[in-house]
């Protein structure tokens, strides 16, 4: 990590506003010991996990411009642009504050990416919907031994783990298509389609 990131000053320089401060002394990387290793690693882990939330805090200072349901995913933005020539990325929060918090250089949390489509207040409703769906999947596994529910559980776990960092599930074709198709299969699992 010391080779990749270097000293704590890197954290403070990651935003040109100067509003990120590290309140600890630099670690002597020339004379490392076990305590220094843990302290250094935990500080980097803290930065790694919380930088998406800092990106989200920048959103709260800006006006909402709807991205038509495509703003939550760079993949979906590219596909829309490829098919229609419309670039909704220019309306996204991440592109509008790229000069402060790099659109592709820094983490942008799940919340920040979905705020492009739902707005900061609409995220509350979205999180209730995700929680409702997750509880339905969980109950179907426990009560009905649902095969597709069990197949959805890992994707929900990946989604929850990466909330602070990025939109891991809906940001890529493989996880997005997996989530959509397995969710459809899960929904129709106990329903008769043909009488």
pLDDT tens digits, one per residue of 87-146: 999 999 999 988 888 888 788 889 999 999 999 999 999 999 999 999 999 999 999 999
Residue 195 has pLDDT above 70, yes or no: no
Statement: the pTM of the whole predicted model exceeds 0.95 = no
pLDDT mean over 3-28: 73
For CA atoms 19, 73, 104, 50, the dihedral sign is positive
Residue 3 has pLDDT above 60, yes or no: no
Q: Percent of the chain beyond pLDDT 70?
A: 91
Based on the number of CB atoms within 10 Å of its own CB, is 115 exposed (0-12), middle (13-18) or buried (19 or more)? buried
Torsion of CA 28, 32, 36, 40, to 10 degrees: 70
Cα separations in angstroms, 111 against 103, 105, 118, 137, 149: 15, 17, 10, 22, 24
Per-residue confidence (pLDDT) for residue 47, from 0 to 100:
84
* Count of residues in the chain: 195
- As a whole number of angstroms, the distance between CA 193 and CA 39 comes to 58
Residue 86 has pLDDT above 60, yes or no: yes
Q: How many CB atoms lie within 10 A of CB 57?
A: 13
Per-residue confidence (pLDDT) for residue 11, from 0 to 100:
80
pLDDT mean over 70-88: 91
H runs (alpha helix) in the chain: 9-13, 34-59, 74-84, 93-96, 110-144, 147-161, 173-188
Per-residue confidence (pLDDT) for residue 40, from 0 to 100:
80
Structure tokens at 166: 């990025």
Per-residue confidence (pLDDT) for residue 87, from 0 to 100:
93
- As a whole number of angstroms, the distance between CA 148 and CA 150 comes to 5
């Amino acid at each position: 990590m010391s080779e990749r990131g270097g000293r704590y000053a890197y954290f403070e320089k990651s935003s040109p506003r100067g509003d990120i401060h590290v309140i600890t002394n630099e670690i002597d990387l020339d004379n490392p010991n076990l305590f220094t290793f843990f302290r250094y690693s935990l500080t980097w882990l803290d930065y790694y996990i919380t930088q998406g939330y800092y990106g989200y805090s920048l959103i709260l200072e800006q006006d909402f411009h709807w991205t038509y349901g495509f703003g939550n995913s760079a993949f979906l933005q590219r596909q829309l642009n490829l098919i229609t020539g419309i670039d909704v990325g220019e309306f996204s929060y991440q592109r509008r504050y790229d000069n402060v918090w790099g659109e592709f250089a820094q983490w942008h949390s799940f919340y920040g990416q979905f705020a492009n489509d739902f707005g900061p207040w609409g995220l509350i409703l979205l999180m209730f919907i995700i929680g409702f769906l997750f509880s339905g999947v969980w109950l179907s596994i426990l009560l009905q031994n649902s095969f597709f529910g069990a197949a959805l559980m890992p994707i929900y776990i990946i989604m929850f783990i990466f909330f602070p960092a990025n939109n891991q599930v809906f940001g890529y074709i493989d996880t997005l298509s997996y989530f959509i198709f397995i969710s459809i299969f899960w929904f129709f699992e106990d329903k008769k389609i043909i009488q």
